[in-house]
Amino acid sequence: MQASFDLLRAARSALDMSTTELCERAGISKRSLVRIEAGEPVGLEISLRVQKALIDAGVEFLPETESGGAGIRLPRGTARKFGFQI
């Protein structure tokens, strides 16, 4: 599944990953990431590179189903890292 720009932005934020770190991991320019996170069009290859970098960091992108919309699943323990109670 190709993740939407909103999900890419949400995944980076949920991982508490800086834009600089994600750009380095994805091998893209900061301007490209800014465009993605603003919902502006970018090339398919660029958005897929960002998605792969987030997957490599442990994010799972979940497709839309009959009962709910698309989403993300974070690596185990990520929520606790930020002090949330599970």
What's the pLDDT tens digit per position in 40-77? 999 999 999 999 999 999 999 999 999 999 999 998 87
Per-domain boundaries in the chain: 5-78
Give the 3-state DSSP-derived string for the chain, with helices as H, strands as E and coil as C.
Answer: CCCCHHHHHHHHHHCCCCHHHHHHHHCCCHHHHHHHHCCCCCCHHHHHHHHHHHHHCCCEEECCCCCCCCEEECCCCHHHHCCCCC
Cα(66)–Cα(52) distance, integer angstroms: 26
pTM for this structure? 0.88
- What is the residue-averaged pLDDT of the chain? 92
Q: In this predicted structure, what is the pLDDT of residue 84?
A: 59
| Confidence grade of residue 1 (pLDDT, cut at 50, 70, 90) | confident
Architecture of domain 5-78: Orthogonal Bundle (1.10)
